[in-house]
Each structure stands twice: as C-alpha cells, then as structure tokens.
Amino acid sequence: AKEATVAEFPVSQALAGVLMSLVPGGLRELHWHANAAEWAYVIKGQCRVTTINPQGQSQTVDFNAGDVWYFPRGFGHSIQGIGSEDCLFVLVFDNGYFSEFGTFSISDWIGHIPPEVLGKYFGVPAATFANFPKREVYIAKGPVPPPLPTNPAPGTLDNGSLTHRYRLLAQRPDTYPGGTNRLVSQRQFPISTTVTGALMQIKPGALREPHWHPNADEWQYYISGRARLSVFGSNGRVRTEEFNAGDVGYVPQGYGHWIENIGNEDVELLIALNNGTYESISLADWIGANARLLLATNFEVPESTFKDFQTRNRFLVG
C-alpha cells in the first residue's frame, strides 16, 4: 500500500488517500479506523468486502471495477482479492492525519489479550490461541473464496438502503462537450454521510470550468492522462501544477480552481470531497447571475463586453 496523508502531502489537511493492491486470495485483515470514515473506488479487478455495524448487522459484498464503498468511522471490515487478477483500489479517508499503518487490526488486538481471557470469553481452552499471531498480520494470503450464496444470511444489510456498495461506473454519466462526469453523494448513496465522490473524464484540450466548493475540500487521484490544475487562494495567490497518472491533487475548501487536459488522451480523474452533500459554485453561473451593468461597474469595462458571454452548461468545456 502507498499512502498520501498530511505527513507526505502537507496541504492535505482534511483528506488522506491510500493506493492498495491485493492478489487473488490476498486479505486486508479485519480492522477498523478510529479516526476516519473510509470511501473507496475500485480501479481494476475484483474484491470481496465484509463489514459490521454497531447494531451487529453485517454485509458481505463483491466489488468490481467502477464500484464504490463507504464505511462510517469505527465500522469493522475486511477486504479480500477475488477473481483471476490483482485488485487495485483507491481508499480515501475524511481525516488528513489518518494513517493506514495506524489502524486497529484484529490480529494485533487478539495477540495482546491474555489467552486465559480469550478462552473464558470464547468458551474454549486457553491453549486454542497458542498458535495465533503475536503481531499484526495486516495482509494475509489465502485461497480465493467461493462465490457468495444467493440468499444472504439473516440480519445482513445486503438488501437494505444503507448498503455499503454503490456502482458508480454503472451510473449514467452527465455528458458535456468536454467530457463526462459521474457524481455520487449522500443523495445517491445514503450511507456516505461524510464523502461525495466523482469520476470525471476530460477530453484532450477540454477544461473543467473554474469553480469552488463552499462546503468541502477536494482530493484528486489522476487515473490516466495529463492535466494542469490551477488553484486560486485569494490575494493574488495562484498555484499551477501538472499531473500525470498516479499523481494526487488537493484543493482546500472554498479555493477557486480549474483543470485543463494538456495531453493527447482523455484524463480520467477520481475526486473525493469531505462532505456527503455536494455543493459547487461556478464562475460562469456567478457571472450569469448578475446584471451586466453591475459587472461593468465591477470590472470597469463597457456593459456590452458581457453580451456574448456563454454562461450555461460550462461544466466541461470542449
């Protein structure tokens, strides 16, 4: 696993990311995160995820490329690679100070509970735990599990509204001259109360319009392509950087920003915002919502300057 927390990426105060790969049968052991919720997007391959909530309800679900999961803070879960190829996925946490290497793992915990206490608790001899690991396993390797049963066990969340899986790539995208966008907020994915995600495709030469998010920081993972991100931080401060596949970008809450595709292929961009409610204000909408006379006064130019401005459907400009 590779991570980008505030330690590696100081500007990323509110969100952290991890890129993880599991071979078929590879198991990210049972664990929980005490200080962050977990949102994830599967880039390729397949994996099986299990989780349990404080009510004792569980869910076991298979994920494919293009799927999203969300675990509220403190929910126990595990991830196992299935299928015939490695599974690659991006994890996003709603706390920039989170570290994947500081989570609470079941092997580490049980390894530090005295065997006599475990024996009394589980109703078995203390010697049962003699060969259990004495340190954190983190990732284990086992056989690929069999297919899931058709009928989930009683007490599971497999058919509930608070399911932990959302099929983002299966969603019909919003289409623009400059590309497409798929958005998943709490509105589409009710359990995802602290993170909104988006999968954006930007055509060569296209522009993701200048905008800002009033209620959230923006964390970016560039899956493919070459892009240029510019961020406006007030008082004449603008920072522009170029990004390639595998790079991570970050925009603090309320900062104006825009993205350009500067390569010869589509940019595929994964975005996570640390709020379950999506909010965005675009420069075009703002300009279009004001009277030309007011704009002329503000910019000290003739009112006629604004008569040909296009301010509708500018999300991705071709």
Is 314 marked active-site? no
Which candidate, 15, 16, 21, places its Cα nearest to that of 3?
16
Whole-angstrom distance between the N-terminal and C-terminal Cα of the chain? 36
Residue ranges in the chain assigned as alpha helix (H): 106-110, 115-122, 283-288, 292-299
From residue 67, how far is each of 167, 213, 219, 223 by CA, in Å?
A: 4, 24, 18, 15
Give the residue carrying structure tokens 């603008």. 238
β-strand 2-4 against 16-22: which pairing, if any? antiparallel
Query: From the candidates 48, 77, 164, 314, which is the catalytic residue?
Result: 77
Is 226 marked active-site? no
Give the rounded distance of the alpha carbon of 216 from its chain centre: 13
Q: How many CA atoms lie within 13 A of 67 on its CB side?
A: 19
Is 257 marked active-site? no
Other Cβ atoms closer than 10 A to 53: 18
Query: From the candidates 3, 29, 48, 100, which is the catalytic residue?
Result: 100
Query: From the candidates 29, 31, 182, 257, which is the catalytic residue?
Result: 31
d(CA 102, CA 122): 27
Query: From the candidates 3, 29, 38, 268, which is the catalytic residue?
Result: 38
d(CA 92, CA 248): 11
Is 100 marked active-site? yes
Beta carbons of 261 and 202 less than 8 angstroms apart: yes
Partners of 257 in the β-ladder:
211, 231
Is 303 marked active-site? no
Is 77 marked active-site? yes
d(CA 284, CA 133): 58
d(CA 33, CA 105): 9
Query: From the candidates 3, 29, 33, 268, which is the catalytic residue?
Result: 33
Beta carbons of 155 and 146 less than 8 angstroms apart: no
Give the residue carrying structure tokens 């998943």. 184
Query: From the candidates 28, 164, 208, 211, which is the catalytic residue?
Result: 28
Instruction: List residues with catalytic annotation.
Output: 28, 31, 33, 38, 77, 100
